[in-house]
């Protein structure tokens, strides 16, 4: 919904008699999403002032890649997280996307029966069968997040604060671009591709993170990015949710893992190959230096 009814009409008895309670209490989905604007093609600014850069990585097939090559990727990523410092955050999301196969046209012998030949007919039937299978593919979306400078370091006066925040955002954009360059080196050979807003792919993937069908979403002038990418109505019913889009209705649920085991391995979630659209998100934020010092003191 683009606007909630409570802000347009007073909740009078007459209105309550013609509108269902759940519709009267509905709120715009975009109000609860963080994505605000795009200060650059490959950056997103959130409501909290964070800057986000994202990239898509095809990844490696953990069931066919050698163990040494497979372990190298998470170890390199872990070192990168530690080197960049506590001001950076990381979200790694595994998304299920539709995969429409694209085939080269059958090279039939035009001197014979051409498109009516038996091989051409088999090729058409095979392509039709693959399309009907509703094939899926998995991709990784890695988002690097950089927080703004502490408010106590910025002036509180209006004009001075605006100028200081703009300077801080420019400096953070440079640091974020440098971090994405390092990340591209870590993901070398895995189809690393940085996302931008104008292509519609980035917003479409963000919509997929919240459960919408993954389709390209272009930014609209005069709207926040959160409003541009929302095209569904969400109804929460206990632990389940219903997502209604144009012409489709999806049902889902959310699971949270609050405490990870101390030892993890690359294949621990790869066996979750269910015939559903699944999104798995891991968030990483380096511990602050003072927290590390406290832990060292406790164990010393």
Q: What is the pLDDT of residues 155-176, one digit of tens each?
A: 555 667 677 778 888 999 999 9
CB 2 within 8 A of CB 28: yes
Note the maximum CA span of the chain: 84
CA distance linking residue 85 with residue 285, whole number of Å:
9
Which pLDDT score is estimated for 1?
40
SS3 at position 183: helix
Which pLDDT score is estimated for 42?
95
Confidence of residue 204 (pLDDT cuts 50, 70, 90): very high
Long-range contacts of 213-218 (CB under 8 A, 24+ apart): 213/245, 213/248, 213/250, 214/95, 214/97, 214/98
Q: Is the pLDDT of residue 210 over 70?
A: yes
**DSSP labels, 72-132:** HHHHHHHHHHHHH-TTEEEEEEEEEEE-----PPP---TTTTGGGSHHHHHHHHHHHHHHH
Q: What is the pLDDT of residues 243-292, one digit of tens each?
A: 888 778 888 888 777 777 767 776 676 766 666 777 878 777 766 677 76
The alpha-carbon radius of gyration of the chain (Å, integer) is 24
The predicted model gives 28-43 an average pLDDT of: 90
SS3 at position 168: helix
Which pLDDT score is estimated for 6?
56
SS3 at position 33: coil
Q: What is the pLDDT of residues 47-73, one digit of tens each?
A: 988 999 999 998 777 777 787 777 888
SS3 at position 208: helix
* DSSP letter assigned to residue 10: -
Which pLDDT score is estimated for 176?
95
CB 46 within 8 A of CB 52: yes
CB 280 within 8 A of CB 272: yes
Which pLDDT score is estimated for 73?
82
pTM for this model (two decimals): 0.77
Q: Is the pLDDT of residue 84 over 90?
A: no
Backbone phi, psi, residue 16, to 5°: -65, -25
And the tokens for 222?
Answer: 């005069």
Which pLDDT score is estimated for 32?
87
SS3 at position 275: coil
Which pLDDT score is estimated for 52?
96
Q: What is the pLDDT of residues 221-233, one digit of tens each?
A: 888 999 988 888 8
CB 266 within 8 A of CB 71: yes
**DSSP labels, 69-86:** HHHHHHHHHHHHHHHH-T
Which pLDDT score is estimated for 175?
94
Q: Is the pLDDT of residue 2 over 50?
A: no
The predicted model gives 294-300 an average pLDDT of: 70
Which pLDDT score is estimated for 44?
96
Which pLDDT score is estimated for 273?
65
User: 138, 59, 62, 133: which is closest to 101 by C-alpha?
Assistant: 133
Q: What is the pLDDT of residues 105-139, one digit of tens each?
A: 666 554 455 567 777 788 888 888 888 887 888 88
CA distance linking residue 168 with residue 196, whole number of Å:
22
What average pLDDT is seen over the chain? Answer: 79
C-alpha dihedral (68, 267, 212, 46), degrees to nearest 10 = -60
Which pLDDT score is estimated for 144?
94
């Amino acid at each position: 919904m683009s606007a909630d009814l409570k802000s347009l009409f007073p909740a009078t008895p007459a209105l309550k008699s013609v509108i269902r309670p759940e519709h009267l209490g509905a709120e715009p989905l975009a109000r609860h999403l963080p994505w605000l604007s795009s200060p650059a093609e490959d950056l997103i600014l959130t409501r909290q002032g964070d800057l986000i850069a994202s990239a898509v990585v095809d990844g490696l097939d953990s069931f066919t890649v050698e163990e040494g090559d497979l372990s190298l990727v998470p170890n390199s990523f872990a070192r990168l997280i530690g080197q960049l410092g506590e001001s950076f955050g990381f979200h790694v999301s595994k998304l299920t996307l539709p995969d429409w196969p694209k085939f080269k046209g059958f090279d039939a012998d035009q001197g014979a029966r051409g498109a009516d030949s038996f091989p051409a007919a088999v090729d058409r039937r095979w392509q039709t069968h693959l399309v009907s299978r509703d094939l899926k593919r998995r991709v990784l979306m890695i988002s690097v997040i950089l927080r703004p400078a502490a408010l106590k370091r910025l002036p509180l006066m209006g004009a001075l604060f605006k100028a200081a925040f703009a300077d801080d955002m420019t400096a953070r954009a440079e640091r974020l671009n440098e971090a994405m360059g390092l990340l591209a080196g870590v993901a070398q050979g895995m189809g690393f591709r940085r996302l931008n807003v104008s292509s519609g792919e980035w917003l479409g993937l963000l919509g997929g993170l919240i459960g919408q069908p993954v389709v390209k979403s272009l930014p609209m002038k005069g709207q926040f990015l959160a409003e541009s990418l929302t095209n569904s109505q969400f109804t929460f019913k206990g632990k389940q949710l219903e997502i209604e889009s144009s012409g489709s209705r999806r049902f889902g649920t959310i699971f949270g893992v609050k405490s990870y085991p101390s030892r993890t391995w690359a294949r621990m979630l790869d066996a979750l190959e269910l015939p559903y659209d699944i999104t798995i998100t891991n968030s990483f934020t380096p511990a602050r230096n003072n927290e590390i010092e406290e832990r060292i003191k406790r164990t010393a």
